[in-house]
Amino acid sequence: MYNFKRQFIKLIFIAYVFFSCFFMSYYKVVFAQEEPLRIDIMGGKIQAMPIAISYFTIEDDLKELKLHNNIPNLIADNLVNSGLFKLLNRDAYMQNPEQLISSPKFRDWRIIDAQALITGNISKRADNKINVSIKLWDVYGEKRLFGISLSSKIKSWRRISHIISDKIYERLTGEEGYFDTRIVYVSESGSQKNRKKRLAIMDQDGANHQYLTDGNSLVLTPRFSPNQQQITFFSYRGINRGLKPSVYLYNLKTGKMKILGEFPGMSFAPRFSPNGSNLVMSLSQNGSTNIHIMNLKDKQTKQLTKGIAIDTSPSFSPDGKNIVFNSDRSGGQHLYIMKENGKNPKRISFGRGSYATPVWSPRGDYIAFTKFTRGRFFIGLMHPDGSAERLIAEGYLTEGPTWAPGGRVLSFFRQTPQKDGSMRTRLFVIDITGNRERELITPEDASDPSWSPKNIN
């Protein structure tokens, strides 16, 4: 009996050992974590993102206004004009707006290779306002990326469309949108000898155009303030009353304008600081032109540059710590950067030709400028340390770059001689890659554009 017990225990132990070994080898084969294959994907295709923007559903009362077509069309125009998106032909859509009310059939949208889908609905509220709700869908991820609902008066449908465009753009690119913005510029009309220059303002797509001044006096270099309510510009406005040409402030809400301080010499080339509390400009007196900064609250001014050189076109960095300007102190006209208090001026441009009108990008990574070399004008970009200079646009007279919010797109004006000897001056928009240049349609000749910050109202 005792031997039998011992034999039994032995058997159990042997079985235990056997199964342990078996389990280990089985584990090794089946459950052991496989070492993954590792792959690096360097770079990728750069192409416009194919998107589908369906017409919106709408209440019967509003159908006459055609907002269910106009709003998606305007959103599509904004996104396509950015050059980053490609609108897929609506004839190819396999679902109509009514079928998209709940959730799209993603498979149907993948067939036409839509990467993002925008659907929407317009309804009328009790206070006669419209309510626009849109949804952005990730077709391959089969999920909703975001939804937004906006209410406004019917006449503000364009503004709603621009805000929606910004939201979509920001969600898909990760960058700040610029569609809900405006551009102020100098509208020019009349012969070259009797030129009429007026301040004009319009949406970034050219809509809602209006004149701000009557054209009785010459205006130049308008610039938006960061809070959008004010525009500063240079004008000969008071010259008939014995006033020198000066820098003025125009209030967009009230329509009133005022001269900005009494200076011994001529003031010009004004630009706001990023926080809107200061204004930098050039003051010309006794044969020299220097950069001054003015506190807009107490009107105190401080001279930032000294010497007999011509220092002009100051522009703040987005953090407000540095100022870029152009100066002929080294002989040729070049770009310099100095601290906000005027210290440590440092030359950053060293190429052939003359550099002018530098403007710091809202992102801080580029400085746009005008360059004159070999008898032609160019719009160029360089990093704030002067590196990676490249020219993105050219023309007979190409000048006055201004950045859109987000720092991806800029506007400038170009003057082109015509066959009859006249000049045609127009505004253009281009992105920092130098591609996708397009003309901004204006009623008359246009120059000196200034892009507003994003609408905050």
Partner 1 sequence: MKKAFYSSLFIHGLIFVLISVTLPEIKTKEINYISVEIVNEEVKEVKEVKEVKEVKEVKKNTAIKTAPPKQKPIIIPKKDKAIKKINIKPKPPIKKPKIIKPEEKIVKKIDKPKTINDDAFFDDMLKNLAKNQPKPIKPVKEIKNKINNKSKKTQAEIRKSQKSIANNIYKQIKANYTLPPAPDLKVINDITVQLRIYVRPDGTIIKTIIDKSSLKKAQNDPTYLPYVEAAQRAIKKLGKFEKLPQEEYNLWKIVDIRFTPYET
CA R_g for the chain: 31
Question: What's the CA gap between 447 and 442, in Å, rounded?
Answer: 10
Of 1, 2, 30, 214, the one binding partner 1 by CB under 8 A? 30
Binding residues among 322-381 for partner 1 as defined by CB under 8 A? 363, 365
The DSSP secondary structure of 289-315, one letter per residue, reads EEEEEEETTT--EEE---SSSBEEEEE
Count the neighbouring beta carbons within 10 Å of the beta carbon of residue 167: 20
Question: What's the CA gap between 420 and 283, in Å, rounded?
Answer: 38
Query: Cβ(285)–Cβ(264) under 8 Å?
Result: yes
Question: What's the CA gap between 159 and 181, in Å, rounded?
Answer: 9
Of 11, 17, 111, 207, the one binding partner 1 by CB under 8 A? 17
Choose between 435 and 457: whose C-beta lies nearer to partner 1.
Answer: 435
Choose between 17 and 243: whose C-beta lies nearer to partner 1.
Answer: 17
Instruction: List C-alpha distances in Å: 77 to 165, 239, 299, 387.
Output: 9, 44, 44, 35
Contacts of 232 (CB under 8 A, 6+ apart): 222, 223, 225, 247, 248, 249, 250, 260, 270, 271, 272, 279
Binding residues among 379-408 for partner 1 as defined by CB under 8 A? 407-408
Question: What is the size of the binding site for partner 1 (CB under 8 A)?
Answer: 46
Contact stretch for partner 1 (CB under 8 A) within 39-47, 53-61, 126-134, 275-283:
39-47
Choose between 113 and 439: whose C-beta lies nearer to partner 1.
Answer: 113
**Tokens found for residue 86:** 């490609």
**Distance in Å, CB of 265 to partner 1, minimum:** 40
24 binds partner 1 (CB under 8 A): yes
**Distance in Å, CB of 383 to partner 1, minimum:** 8
13 binds partner 1 (CB under 8 A): yes
44 binds partner 1 (CB under 8 A): yes
300 binds partner 1 (CB under 8 A): no
**Tokens found for residue 319:** 């953090």
Choose between 170 and 444: whose C-beta lies nearer to partner 1.
Answer: 170
Choose between 117 and 219: whose C-beta lies nearer to partner 1.
Answer: 117
Question: What's the CA gap between 268 and 256, in Å, rounded?
Answer: 20
Choose between 40 and 60: whose C-beta lies nearer to partner 1.
Answer: 40
**Distance in Å, CB of 315 to partner 1, minimum:** 20
Instruction: Say which residue the tokens 């050059």 belong to.
Output: 83
197 binds partner 1 (CB under 8 A): no
Contact stretch for partner 1 (CB under 8 A) within 15-23, 67-75, 123-131, 151-159:
15-23
**Tokens found for residue 426:** 């127009």
2 binds partner 1 (CB under 8 A): no
Torsion over CA: 62, 64, 68, 73 (sign): negative
**Distance in Å, CB of 302 to partner 1, minimum:** 33
Binding residues among 126-185 for partner 1 as defined by CB under 8 A? 138, 140-141, 170-175
Of 1, 2, 5, 43, the one binding partner 1 by CB under 8 A? 43
Binding residues among 109-128 for partner 1 as defined by CB under 8 A? 115
Sheet of 266-272, strand order:
266-272, 278-285, 288-295, 301-303
Choose between 38 and 258: whose C-beta lies nearer to partner 1.
Answer: 38
List phi, psi (to 5°) of 20. -65, -45
Contact stretch for partner 1 (CB under 8 A) within 14-22, 156-164, 205-213, 319-327:
14-22
Contact stretch for partner 1 (CB under 8 A) within 40-48, 52-60, 253-261, 313-321:
40-48
Instruction: Say which residue the tokens 């240079």 belong to.
Output: 234
**Tokens found for residue 224:** 């938006």
37 binds partner 1 (CB under 8 A): yes
Binding residues among 53-82 for partner 1 as defined by CB under 8 A? 82
Choose between 174 and 255: whose C-beta lies nearer to partner 1.
Answer: 174
The DSSP secondary structure of 154-174, one letter per residue, reads GGGHHHHHHHHHHHHHHHHHS
* Site of interaction with partner 1 (CB under 8 A): 13, 16-17, 20-21, 24-25, 28-30, 32, 34-49, 82, 84-85, 115, 138, 140-141, 170-175, 363, 365, 407-408, 432-433
